Amino acid sequence: MNSWRFKLLYDGDCPLCQREANFLQRRNRHGWLAFEDIAAPGFDPAKYHTTQEELMGVIHGVFPDGCMVRKVEVFREAYRAVGLGWVLAWTGWPGLRRLADRGYEWFARHRIFIGRIFGRSCETGRCAVSVRPKPGDE
């Protein structure tokens, strides 16, 4: 049985993504949040029945039973796993959930530019993947 309750699939080549993963790792006192770098050599997206492009487009997370979530739901679950669920609870409220997801989609599309503004550019260029909505996400 896994000791983790949720796994964050993050882009280790993206400085902003790495910074968020580091933030969460420092607060992961119980080990309930696992981390997997989707940019690491040898990472196989087929393990999650998806593609590298899909995983690079928006953040994903997975539960021990294999159920996968995307976008802001990932952050809600990751923060909940480290005891900070209250910080993002409002993003799941009716009416605000969709707004939070749209805001995240905008961020995901522009994360490379945003990173440059804050002096954190993607060194490998692998993080520059376009974000295409999945059917049903419209």
Contact residues for 122 (Cβ-Cβ < 8 A; gap 6+)? 13, 14, 15, 112, 115, 128
- Beta bridge mates, 37: 10
Task: Render pLDDT for 44-80 as a digit per residue (tens, 0 to 9).
Answer: 999 999 999 999 888 999 999 999 999 999 999 999 9
Per the CB < 8 A criterion, the answer to whether 127 and 105 are in contact is no
Write down the pLDDT at residue 133: 47
Write down the pLDDT at residue 118: 61
Amino acid identity of 121? S
For residues 102 and 124, give the distance between their C-alpha atoms in angstroms, rounded to a whole number: 27
**Sheet of strand 68-70: strand arrangement:** 33-37, 6-10, 60-62, 68-70
Task: Render pLDDT for 89-129 as a digit per residue (tens, 0 to 9).
Answer: 999 999 999 999 999 888 888 877 776 676 555 555 555 54
The pLDDT confidence band at residue 27, using thresholds 50, 70 and 90, is very high
* Closest to 84 in 3D by CA, of 75, 96, 72: 75
Write down the pLDDT at residue 57: 86
Write down the pLDDT at residue 130: 45
Write down the pLDDT at residue 114: 73
Amino acid identity of 8? L
Task: Render pLDDT for 30-43 as a digit per residue (tens, 0 to 9).
Answer: 999 999 999 999 99
Write down the pLDDT at residue 125: 54
